[in-house]
Chains A and B, each alone.
Chain A
Amino acid sequence: MARIDVRKTYKLYIGGAFPRSESGHSYEVTDSKGKFVANAALASRKDVRDAVVAARKAFGPWSARTAYNRGQILYRIAEVMEDRRPQFEEAVKQSEGGSAAAARNQVDAAVDRLVWYAGWADKLAQVIGNANPVAGPFFNHTAPEPTGVVGVLAPQSSSLLGLVSVVAPVIVTGNVAVVVSSYERPLPAVTFSEVLATSDVPGGVVNVLTGDAGTLGPWLAAHMDVNAIDLCGVAGATDLATSLEVAAADNLKRVRRAPDAEPDWAAEPGLAPMTAFVEQKTVWHPIGI
């Protein structure tokens, strides 16, 4: 007789802990063929609220880390992911379908992307900041700083590479993230949370909510303690994206607009995913004796 498997109900990842949804709700996650895989917590507006609180608490210390240290930690995430490649491959294959090789490629690319962003930690300021030769006896320089708490609606299709490609650029510069995972494909995000929890990332720096971007997005977009939002997860949903952008205007969030369709995640990202969520600070000081 075949063994009865232990069916899992995955939880949320908030402030470095794995709580159930405040609402108590969960939903069934199926594989690409519609077969039951697991239950995932269905995050509610109150989970958004808790995640934002956790993120805000983590922001000060995380942004105060040295860039070198943040780079080390991102690299550590890549190392731990590398260790758990089979699990990620399985999760991606289950979620997205396709061949094992295709899933492997996705995982490889996701790990490589983390490594790429890890290297940016202590270079971005050198590339996009500068000394300004003002017409007077003043030292004047401009350098990027993280914008704060960033709401990230992760892509719906690319469950791992897409997820990593929107989270890594947010946190590498010192921001903290409240991520809403793909609704139908949340398991790679859940596994990613487990990696984050075991790879030196301070609790609250990345918070992962499994659930519906259409439900959670409005709460994130309207939240007055969220500084920016990436709308990638509602790509193609024009009306929803517009309403989220309107809500985001209430505290002038920096908005990374939703594309018409998910981009080719394999392409080199460029700087825009990072620069969308930094502030440029200019400091003046007199030069004298």
Chain B
Amino acid sequence: MPTTAPTDPAPGLAAYSEVTASEASLRRFLHGLPGVDQVGAEARAAGLGTRSIKTTAKAWALDLAIRMVDLTTLEGQDTPGKVRALASKALRPDPADPTCPSVAAVCVYGDLVGEVKAIVGDQVNVAAVATAFPSGRASMDVKLADTRDAVAAGADEIDMVIDRGAFLAGRYLQVFEEIVATREACVRPDGSHAHLKVIFETGELQTYDNVRRASWLAMLAGTDFIKTSTGKVQPAATLPVTLVMLEAVRDFREATGVQIGVKPAGGIRTAKDAIKYLVMVNEIAGDDWLDPDWFRFGASTLLNDLLMQRTKMTTGRYSGPDYFTLD
């Protein structure tokens, strides 16, 4: 049995209990957040994208980026064999180079958690998508059962999706309560809990104002991470969406003292892109977030590009895809 109720608010959060007390107060709060000007936010993101990260800074950033990868496969065709191979790669991304760090986690569907766990043990986390991923269209019971199954199978992290329909219809309290309930479903018998990431599917929320509101809503509901996308909807992660979410976690910590992580997922394929995200983390949220505990990349093909760039840094010559595993 849990020794503490997982929804006990942190001290800084207590001040916000009024906010989530009713649909009306929650709506007032979320709609009272400062707006986001699309053009300005995109210009800022693009500006940060022009930072030039070279030599020692690049080497440092590449290793950090590798350590932040949630190596992901979320296909109907996934098999135990496929995810075991991925798990091996997560442990040793570059078999030829023992100095290459492991990734942060392997992210799979809930039914494959055990397969991954068997390979990675406690060396790399296992993340499972849940709550009727990717659409979130199922009854609450099903979503919670989905979550509990994954936690029971040993998932260290749960990546849930919000009900975008409810969010877009303005039923914020419903979304809030679903997150709270899922957070409770993450609690293990020993009272610890699987870390919860809340996926907004920002491509469906459309506006940055919605992304900011969703971020605050999820943070108030007690999530550990906020995550952009499932990877199944375009656009997935973008620099400006991540910018808005980084601003949200920065402001949230300032307001409550609680630090929340950020995970852009989907569409980040190159080392160059990953470094742009790290620059953004550095300059928007600050270096407290430059750590796999607080920032992740949900990606699959990104890892190989990071490895190729890393090899280029160490050997001085360009590498090719044949020298890296395709799992």
Contact = CB atoms under 8 A, between A and B. Distances in A.
A247 B39 CA distance: 46
A288 B206 contact: no
A153 to B, nearest CB: 48
B192 interface: no
B37 A286 contact: yes
Contacts of B40: 286
Interface residues of B, number: 7
Contact of B206 (A286, A287, A289): A289
B79 interface: no
List 3 tightest A-B contacts by C-beta distance, closest first.
A288-B38, A286-B39, A288-B39
A136 B37 CA distance: 14
A138 interface: yes
Contacts of B206: 289
Tell me whether chain A's interface is mostly helix, strand or loop, or mixed: loop
Nearest to A289: B207
A138 to B, nearest CB: 7
B280 to A, nearest CB: 19
A68 B170 CA distance: 43
Interface string B283-309: 000000000000000000000000000
Contacts of A137: 38-39
16 contacts: A136-B39, A137-B38, A137-B39, A138-B39, A286-B37, A286-B38, A286-B39, A286-B40, A287-B39, A288-B37, A288-B38, A288-B39, A288-B42, A289-B38, A289-B206, A289-B207
Given A137-B38, A138-B39, A289-B206, 4 more contacts: A137-B39, A286-B38, A287-B39, A288-B39
Contacts of A136: 39
Interface in B184-230: 206-207
Contacts of A138: 39
Interface string B161-200: 0000000000000000000000000000000000000000
A105 to B, nearest CB: 58
Nearest to A285: B39
